[in-house]
Structure 1
Amino acid sequence: MTSTHATPAGTAHRARSVAGHLAAVTHLLAPLAAESRAEVVPLPDALGRALVHGFLAPLSLPPFANSQMDGYAVSSADIPDGGADLRIMPPVPAGSSPQPLEPGSAVPIMTGAMIPAGADAVVPIEKAAPDRFLEPGHTGPVKLPATAPGTYVRAAGSDIATGERALAARTCLGPAQLGLLAALGMSAVEVYRAVTVLLVTTGDEVVEPGRALPEGKIYDSNGTLLEGAMKQAGVTVRRAGISTDNPAELQALLRTAGQDVDLIVTTGGVSKGAYEVVRQAMADQPVDFLHVAMQPGGPQGIGMFDGVPFLGFPGNPVSCLVSFEMFLRPALSALLGAPAPRLPLRARLAQPLASPGSKHQVRRGILQPDGMVRLEGGESSHLMHALAGSNVLVHVPVGVTDLAAGDEVEVWML
């Protein structure tokens, strides 16, 4: 990685760092992690949610020693090095409770079936002679080779023992975690209640998709883009349509539609232009409008509207999605454990790039099977087509101005 000249004086010192703004967003949303927001839901409804408390195993997995193979359960002491002919006892299918193993005998056993008392190993059927199970009622003998104790036996508690921690608090529950809870006998689990967000797009120039598009207008992509990102992250989204650039109308819309939500998110109207409706609507509210040292997504709003946490994202589509990925999503991950955090990967650039040294730049790219990442589109925050063709966000930290092809970068999978 090539870092050239130092960060210039000026705007970088007035801008808040990415880490600083993430900390501010996390602090704003900290009440969402209160235990009063916990609820008990059936396991299928807990997918993508996070545990409130750590969970201890109420039983061992497996709960009893069982066979790892179809074969014969034996006592290893009954078989000398040269093998032995053993008579056959009644078979043990999965789910049955077997009788104890008699000396000098072998028990046909199926995968997952309980190991009989007195048996300490399983000989796979393909190693037996004959290498197939005999007809019911046949007592053999069957010739089996010597085997060590414990061979193909899943010991009780070999996965997890009673009382061990099964899952930590704030674990995001995916299919594997829900499967573990089900295996431990749980039909319901205590999780954090899903966060409800009021999402409002602003701008007289914005038109709902599907309607006629007058000259000078654009279709609203931000609402659909952010709603999809939020729903994918497990957030419940309440849409309030598109607000005009009238501050009083925006205030009324927020008060009408914002009842009983956990967070208000707006897009647009947070920069320093003459007609920034969100800034104007928040004039009497404890809301800060500031610049984060990030490209795209520098202009941000944060505070409270009538006692409800508020975040104001920029109006350009890529900027608002990057804002969600850099601030709201990781804040929810840290506080609630869900959604699962983006795991950083390392990749090598397929081409050079330049970045403003005073800002953390977030580019879009395609991570290829060979570990190279190809940038999609340029730095501009309106390039929806480039975003749609990307599968990673590419991070260039503050202080780095030039990277060459082959340099390593951090990427987040989308």
Structure 2
Amino acid sequence: MISVDDYRERITALLGTAPATSLPLAAAAGLVLAEDVLAGVSLPPFDNSAMDGYAVRAADVTTSPVTLPVADDIPAGRVDVGTLEPGTAHRIMTGAPLPPGADAVVMVEDTDRGTETVTITAEAREGAHIRRTGEDVVAGTVALPAGTVLGHSHLGLAAAVGLAEVRVHRLRVLIASTGTELIDAPAPLRHGQIYESNSVMLAAALRELGCEVDVVRSVVDDVEEFRKVIEPRLAGADLLVTSGGVSAGAYEVVKDALTGQGVEFAKVAMQPGGPQGSGRWQGVPVVTLPGNPVSVLVSFEAFLRPALLAALGHTDVSRHQVRARLTEEMSSPAGRRQFRRGVFAPSGREVTGVVGPRGGPGSHLLAAFTQANCLIVLPEDVTSAAVGDEVDVLLL
């Protein structure tokens, strides 16, 4: 068997770095910049008023009160602004371009709000209430460096410096769930059949990371049918993720179809999720997961999620891990790292909190996963843990 850590490294190396692609800003949230974003314009792009008020020459307002004729009116968006002559004022709105000749803005609260003449009741200070060109960003400089995880503020900045799209890391992932017993809802079930759920879970998890997803559901346990359905879609994928068909049974379609085709199958020292496979098929990276839904989710958390995040350019790829005291006894098979669904509650004591398992260790108990907020991790050399023992907890 291969260890969880070694297998995670294998999958991370297999995925490498995701290719860069250009996406509209609205589609790039949560993704990682593949290239620096250079500012096409300065921010602000011109000297402008930070207040509603009056543009003046500070030398004309050295005492108060003082009354000046209002020679012009400058709303935001005006592009034909004239020069401010000595001894006059221009009424100006927030964001409007500062007229040549002006070196201060008096806020409207310090005036009588006049439109023909204005009486100013506070002394003007040179540079007051003026936003200078390039004060935030200078044209031609790096506004956002490569490696930035794009949040709403980053996308706003990209738009403000003149970009409509950005270059980001993105993976196109083809998901295939296998098993003759699988039926797509809402078709009626016959005895011996189950509703397919793995592709739904995987697609949601991958989209949450920013992957583009294509899904093939419920492929029957027939090698020729598997190849017929999957091969034509490989050309459009950067990664193939399958579920089911990788164990030691008689109808392991993924294992049968991909053995000798560049994909290696192995047992990983973990519970659940032991049977795994990875490699390249027709040049496309492939990760094959077990079929039971909890095995799929644990496998995703243990090695696929961190490998995907690394491929997508993230530097923080791990779930937050804490220590907590057990509220129930637990047992684990020797030589395997056990991942149990759990409920964690924070505590102000010497450890971070307390935790207890939710549901049994069975890899079919999906409802228990929906009630969990963490995974309790028992290492390979631990076969039992008592109430009050400290354990590692991965917060979900």
TM score, norm. by length of structure 1: 0.76
Q: In structure 1, which of residues 216, 222, 232 is the aligned counterpart of residue 208 of structure 2?
A: 232
What's the secondary structure of 1:95's corresponding residue? coil
Any idea what SS the aligned residue of 1:320 has? helix
Matched residue type, 2:53: G
Call closer, same or farther: CA 1:187–1:365 in 2, change over 3 Å. same
Q: Which residue of structure 1 aligns with residue 2 of structure 2?
A: 15
| Equivalences for residues 5-84 of structure 1 within 5 A | 14-18=1-5, 20-30=6-16, 32-33=18-19, 38-47=20-29, 49-76=31-58, 78-80=60-62, 83-84=64-65
CA distance in 1, matches of 2:42, 2:262: 53
Give the equivalent residue in structure 2 for 1:307: 283
Tell me how far apart the structure 2 counterparts of residues 21 and 39 of structure 1 sit (CA, whole Å).
28
How far is 1:403 from its partner? 9.4
Q: Report the Cα distance in structure 2 between the residues aligned to 1:404 and 1:159, rounded to whole angstroms.
A: 56
Question: Residue in 2 aligned with 1:6?
Answer: none
- Give CA deviations for 1:267-291 in whole Å, capped at 9, x if unaligned: 1232345543322333322322233
Correspondence 1:377 to 2:354? no
Same amino acid, percent of matched pairs: 38
Partner Cα distance (1:216, 1:124) in 2? 77
1 CA distance for matches of 2:40 and 2:182?
A: 55
The equivalent of 1:11 in structure 2 is none
Change (3 A) 1:218 1:367: farther
Runs of 5+ in structure 2 lacking a partner? none
Partner of 2:118: 140
Partner of 2:68: 87
Q: 2:267 aligns with which of 291, 296, 314?
A: 291
1:152/1:305 Cα in 2 relative to 1: closer, same or farther (>3 Å)? same
Matches within 5 A, 1:130-169: 130=112, 133-134=113-114, 136=115, 138-144=116-122, 146=123, 148-169=125-146
Greater CA drift, 41-50 or 273-282? 41-50
CA contact (8 A) 2:17 2:312 kept: no
Deviation at 1:386, TM superposition (A): 3.5
The answer on 1:96 being equivalent to 2:73 is no
Retained in 1: the 8 A contact 2:325–2:391?
no
Cα deviation, residue 265, structure 1: 1.3
Asked if 2 retains the 8 angstrom alpha-carbon contact of 1:347 and 1:367, the reply is no
Choose from 179, 183, 187 the match for 2:160: 183
In structure 1, distance between residues paired with 2:235 and 2:211: 16
Match of 1:109 in 2: 92
Change (3 A) 1:235 1:116: same
What CA distance in whole angstroms lies between the structure 2 residues aligned with 1:297 and 1:181? Answer: 42
Deviations, residues 268-325 of structure 1 (Å, cap 9, x unaligned): 2323455433223333223222333444434321112233321111212232133334
Bigger relative contact order, structure 1 or 2, given CA contacts below 8 A and separation 6+?
Answer: 1
- Tell me: CA distance 1:117–1:412, structure 2 relative to 1, closer, same or farther (3 Å): farther
In structure 2, the CA distance between the partners of 1:408 and 1:125, relative to structure 1 (3 Å rule), is farther
Q: Deviations over 1:333-391 (max 9, x none)?
A: 323337x96675577859646585952736455789x997876733443333333345x
Cα distance in 1 for residues equivalent to 2:366 and 2:140:
51
Q: 5 Å matches for 1:233-312?
A: 233-273=209-249, 275-312=251-288
TM-score, structure 2 as length reference: 0.79
CA contact (8 A) 1:296 1:381 kept: yes
SS for the counterpart of 2:73 is coil
1:93 is displaced (CA, Å) by 1.2
Which one-letter code corresponds to 1:114 in the other structure?
P
Give the aligned CA root-mean-square deviation in angstroms: 3.9
Equivalence for 1:198: 174
Distance 1:318 1:149, change over 3 A: farther
1:323 aligns with 2:299: yes
Contact 1:297-1:319 at 8 Å conserved across structures:
yes
Query: What is the Cα deviation at residue 61 of structure 1?
Result: 0.9
SS at match of 1:91: strand
